[in-house]
A and B are shown apart, each in its own frame.
Chain A
């Protein structure tokens, strides 16, 4: 696949590097000549100096045939505009934007950015994951309305000792994976009995998170 990465800072550089490692075709657009040169020295000639929000630059790098455009500059407004130009002018099928201000995420999605990655939210998530007291750990958001979460069943959980089918899960929720004390992943069936300290991966509607937490963690 052909990836265009707008922004050749630390994020863009490392993203480009790992995409290249995966055998993808990558082009990084970066305004700063020194950053461009560094990328060229370390990754080969995959950097173009220019403004990734400008249609002219995007045209020169063949954006019309790109499969994905990822905008990871440090400025939310630049990332939004790069994605909008890619999508509306060059019909790029998938656009991904880095968003610093998490409150802009809904707007970006409304305006047609396919995937938003909020570094602030990611850091918050990691902090929550690092705090064992938090019963529900967000892992991933799907399609903007589903949450993939990890739950470690505390001993006080109302789900302990019950079969999966006996749980009062909110509608539209599925438990898709169970990791028991033996650290082996199992796809649970409706008759699987849950035990304290079992780790579950569940998918639920964003607005049912609280009910899911109540059903599984009891908090």
Chain B
């Protein structure tokens, strides 16, 4: 399947490498080409420099054929905007969006976006680590 990952930070690069290893056709988007250093040398996908909230950039990245779109930049709002463009304009079947702010995450989930908030999960993990 064709997957577009927006944001090549630690999480984005890791996810891109996983999907690539599983045999998916992966495009990684980032505004900073320097971020692509995080991709493993064996990565067979395509890094594309550009802003994922720009429709032209998304088209160039092949969003019209994509089945998966994941927004994992550092900006919650940028992720929200890009995910909604992918879902509502390009009708990508599977859109996942990371939102750090748990309240915003809940709201967008209620609005039908598939969202992940690492904040609560992270705090819970830390709390658990303190117990043992």
Contacts and interface: CB of A to CB of B under 8 A. Distances in A.
A55 B53 contact: no
Q: Is the interface of A mostly helix, strand, loop or mixed?
A: helix
Contact of A54 (B85, B88, B104, B111): B104
Interface magnitude class on chain B:
20 to 34
A168 B69 CA distance: 49
A41 interface: no
Interface string A93-125: 000000001011001001100000000000000
Interface stretch (B27-35, B75-83, B115-123): B75-83
30 contacts: A53-B76, A53-B77, A53-B104, A55-B104, A55-B107, A56-B103, A75-B77, A76-B53, A76-B81, A77-B75, A77-B80, A80-B77, A80-B80, A80-B84, A81-B76, A81-B77, A81-B80, A81-B81, A81-B104, A84-B80, A84-B107, A85-B107, A101-B53, A103-B55, A104-B81, A107-B84, A107-B85, A107-B88, A110-B88, A111-B84
A204 B24 CA distance: 49
B65 interface: no
Interface of B: 53-55, 75-78, 80-81, 84-85, 88-89, 101, 103-104, 107-108, 110-111
Interface string A66-92: 000000000111101100110011000
Interface residues of A, number: 20
A78 B77 contact: yes
